[in-house]
Amino acid sequence: MPKANIITRITSTQSVSAPERAAAGWIVKVMMPEWPLDQRFFAVGTELAADAEESVLLYPGILPSDQRIAMRRLSSAELSNLKLRVAAVCPCGWLLHESDEP
């Protein structure tokens, strides 16, 4: 088989669509009872705040006993910069602004 045909066959069979980008997302704060001063922040690609709070449980080390609070929605600029996928959970403590604190 000529090389051109091999290359064509490989690229045509490997075309897989990329996961969809999230249209909405939330900043979720997690507080761990074992370490009261330890607060972690996550960006979650979900439409609803309750879903974002539940999705954080998928991240390693986060337990159902940890307090989870959806603080605010992500802006469209933040979603774009993070390239956040639907249902994705990623740490984002650096994204927190002082205005987010109560």
State the Cα–Cα distance between residues 1 and 4, nearest whole angstrom: 8
Whether pTM > 0.75 for this model: the answer is no
The total number of structural domains in the chain stands at 1
What is the extent of the structural domain holding 42? 19-100
Task: Check if the beta carbon of residue 41 is closer than 8 Å to that of residue 89.
Answer: no
Residue 6 lies in a domain: no
40, part of any domain: yes
More confident residue, 94 or 16: 94
Question: Does 9 map to a domain?
Answer: no
* Edge-to-edge strand list for the sheet holding 67-73: 67-73, 26-32, 35-44, 89-91
Residue 38 domain flag: yes
Q: Under a CB-based contact definition with an 8 Å cutoff, are residues 41 and 52 in contact?
A: no
Q: What is the pLDDT of residue 35?
A: 81
Position 18 confidence tier, pLDDT thresholds 50, 70, 90:
low
Q: Assess if residue 1 is contained within a domain.
A: no
The first and second tokens of residue 38, run together, are 């330890």
For residue 74, give the nearest of 97, 55, 54 by alpha carbon: 97
Residue 4: inside a domain: no
